[in-house]
Protein backbone atom coordinates (compact mmCIF):
# COMPACT_ATOMS: atom_id res chain seq x y z
CA UNK A 1 0.00 0.00 0.00
CA UNK A 2 1.25 3.45 -0.91
CA UNK A 3 2.05 5.84 1.95
CA UNK A 4 0.29 9.18 1.75
CA UNK A 5 2.33 12.21 2.66
CA UNK A 6 -0.70 14.38 3.44
CA UNK A 7 -1.91 12.01 6.18
CA UNK A 8 -0.59 13.00 9.60
CA UNK A 9 1.62 10.37 11.20
CA UNK A 10 0.89 9.22 14.73
CA UNK A 11 3.22 10.60 17.37
CA UNK A 12 5.72 8.04 18.59
CA UNK A 13 8.26 8.47 21.37
CA UNK A 14 10.32 5.67 19.86
CA UNK A 15 10.51 7.48 16.50
CA UNK A 16 11.44 10.74 18.27
CA UNK A 17 14.20 8.94 20.19
CA UNK A 18 15.50 7.41 16.95
CA UNK A 19 15.64 10.87 15.39
CA UNK A 20 18.07 11.91 18.14
CA UNK A 21 20.14 8.83 17.35
CA UNK A 22 20.26 9.83 13.68
CA UNK A 23 21.22 13.39 14.60
CA UNK A 24 23.96 12.12 16.88
CA UNK A 25 25.29 9.93 14.07
CA UNK A 26 25.27 12.97 11.80
CA UNK A 27 27.27 14.97 14.35
CA UNK A 28 29.75 12.10 14.64
CA UNK A 29 30.17 11.96 10.84
CA UNK A 30 30.55 15.74 10.74
CA UNK A 31 33.25 15.82 13.41
CA UNK A 32 35.01 12.72 12.10
CA UNK A 33 35.23 13.90 8.50
CA UNK A 34 35.44 17.69 8.69
CA UNK A 35 38.84 18.92 9.79
CA UNK A 36 37.76 22.57 9.58
CA UNK A 37 35.12 21.88 12.23
CA UNK A 38 37.88 21.04 14.71
CA UNK A 39 39.69 24.27 13.89
CA UNK A 40 36.45 26.22 14.30
CA UNK A 41 35.68 24.46 17.60
CA UNK A 42 39.16 25.31 18.92
CA UNK A 43 38.74 28.96 17.96
CA UNK A 44 35.30 29.01 19.57
CA UNK A 45 36.65 27.43 22.78
CA UNK A 46 39.50 29.98 22.82
CA UNK A 47 36.90 32.76 22.55
CA UNK A 48 34.97 31.20 25.44
CA UNK A 49 38.13 31.12 27.59
CA UNK A 50 38.83 34.77 26.74
CA UNK A 51 35.19 35.58 27.52
CA UNK A 52 35.58 34.09 31.01
CA UNK A 53 38.86 35.94 31.47
CA UNK A 54 37.32 39.32 30.67
CA UNK A 55 33.99 38.59 32.37
CA UNK A 56 31.91 39.53 29.34
CA UNK A 57 28.24 40.42 29.81
CA UNK A 58 25.25 38.13 29.29
CA UNK A 59 24.40 39.80 25.97
CA UNK A 60 28.00 39.38 24.83
CA UNK A 61 27.84 35.67 25.78
CA UNK A 62 24.67 35.31 23.75
CA UNK A 63 26.29 36.94 20.73
CA UNK A 64 29.43 34.80 21.13
CA UNK A 65 27.43 31.57 21.32
CA UNK A 66 25.23 32.56 18.36
CA UNK A 67 28.30 33.49 16.29
CA UNK A 68 30.11 30.25 17.11
CA UNK A 69 27.01 28.18 16.47
CA UNK A 70 26.42 30.02 13.19
CA UNK A 71 29.86 29.03 11.93
CA UNK A 72 29.45 25.38 12.96
CA UNK A 73 25.99 25.14 11.40
CA UNK A 74 27.29 26.64 8.15
CA UNK A 75 30.17 24.15 8.15
CA UNK A 76 27.77 21.25 8.82
CA UNK A 77 25.56 22.29 5.88
CA UNK A 78 28.66 22.67 3.72
CA UNK A 79 29.73 19.15 4.66
CA UNK A 80 26.28 17.74 3.92
CA UNK A 81 26.25 19.44 0.52
CA UNK A 82 29.72 18.11 -0.27
CA UNK A 83 28.69 14.56 0.70
CA UNK A 84 25.62 14.79 -1.53
CA UNK A 85 27.50 16.28 -4.49
CA UNK A 86 30.18 13.58 -4.21
CA UNK A 87 27.43 10.96 -4.39
CA UNK A 88 25.35 12.49 -7.17
CA UNK A 89 28.21 13.84 -9.28
CA UNK A 90 31.29 11.66 -8.73
CA UNK A 91 32.86 12.87 -11.98
CA UNK A 92 33.88 16.49 -12.42
CA UNK A 93 31.06 18.77 -13.41
CA UNK A 94 31.27 22.57 -13.36
CA UNK A 95 27.88 22.87 -11.63
CA UNK A 96 29.00 20.47 -8.92
CA UNK A 97 32.12 22.58 -8.40
CA UNK A 98 30.03 25.75 -8.29
CA UNK A 99 27.70 24.20 -5.71
CA UNK A 100 30.59 23.20 -3.47
CA UNK A 101 32.26 26.60 -3.87
CA UNK A 102 29.07 28.49 -2.98
CA UNK A 103 28.59 26.31 0.11
CA UNK A 104 32.20 26.96 1.14
CA UNK A 105 31.59 30.66 0.54
CA UNK A 106 28.68 30.52 2.98
CA UNK A 107 31.05 29.18 5.63
CA UNK A 108 33.43 32.04 4.89
CA UNK A 109 30.60 34.56 5.33
CA UNK A 110 29.66 32.94 8.66
CA UNK A 111 33.28 32.94 9.85
CA UNK A 112 33.80 36.57 8.84
CA UNK A 113 30.59 37.54 10.65
CA UNK A 114 31.72 35.67 13.78
CA UNK A 115 35.13 37.35 13.58
CA UNK A 116 33.52 40.80 13.43
CA UNK A 117 31.27 39.94 16.37
CA UNK A 118 34.35 38.77 18.28
CA UNK A 119 36.09 42.07 17.54
CA UNK A 120 33.03 44.04 18.69
CA UNK A 121 32.93 42.05 21.92
CA UNK A 122 36.61 41.91 22.83
CA UNK A 123 38.21 45.15 21.54
CA UNK A 124 36.59 47.29 24.27
CA UNK A 125 38.16 44.99 26.90
CA UNK A 126 41.60 45.45 25.35
CA UNK A 127 41.54 49.25 25.31
pLDDT tens figures, 21-37: 999 999 999 999 999 99
Integer Cα distance of 44 and 41 in angstroms: 5
pTM of the model: 0.85
Integer Cα distance of 57 and 72 in angstroms: 23
pLDDT value for 9: 79
48 sits in the region (left: phi over 0; alpha: psi -120 to 50; else beta) called: alpha
> Residue 59 contacts by C-beta under 8 Å, 6 or more apart in sequence?
none
pLDDT value for 5: 66
Integer Cα distance of 44 and 63 in angstroms: 12
Inside any domain, residue 109:
yes
Inside any domain, residue 65:
yes
- pLDDT for residue 8 is more than 90: no
- pLDDT for residue 6 is more than 90: no
The CATH number of residue 98's host domain is 1.10.287.3610
pLDDT level of residue 4 (50, 70, 90 thresholds): low
> Is the separation of the CB atoms in 114 and 71 below 8 Å?
yes
Number of domains into which the chain is organized: 1
> Is the separation of the CB atoms in 95 and 127 below 8 Å?
no
Inside any domain, residue 41:
yes
Expressed as residue numbers, the domain containing 75 is 35-126
Inside any domain, residue 14:
no
Inside any domain, residue 9:
no
Inside any domain, residue 24:
no
End-to-end CA distance of the chain: 69
pLDDT value for 94: 95
Integer Cα distance of 31 and 38 in angstroms: 7
> Is the separation of the CB atoms in 103 and 83 below 8 Å?
no
Q: What is the pLDDT of residues 48-76, one digit of tens each?
A: 999 999 999 999 999 999 999 999 999 99
Other beta carbons less than 10 A from residue 70's beta carbon: 17
Amino acid sequence: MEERLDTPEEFSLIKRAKSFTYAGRGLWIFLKTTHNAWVQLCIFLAAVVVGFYFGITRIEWMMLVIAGGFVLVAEAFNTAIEIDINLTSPDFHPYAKDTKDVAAGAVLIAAATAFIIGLLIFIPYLT
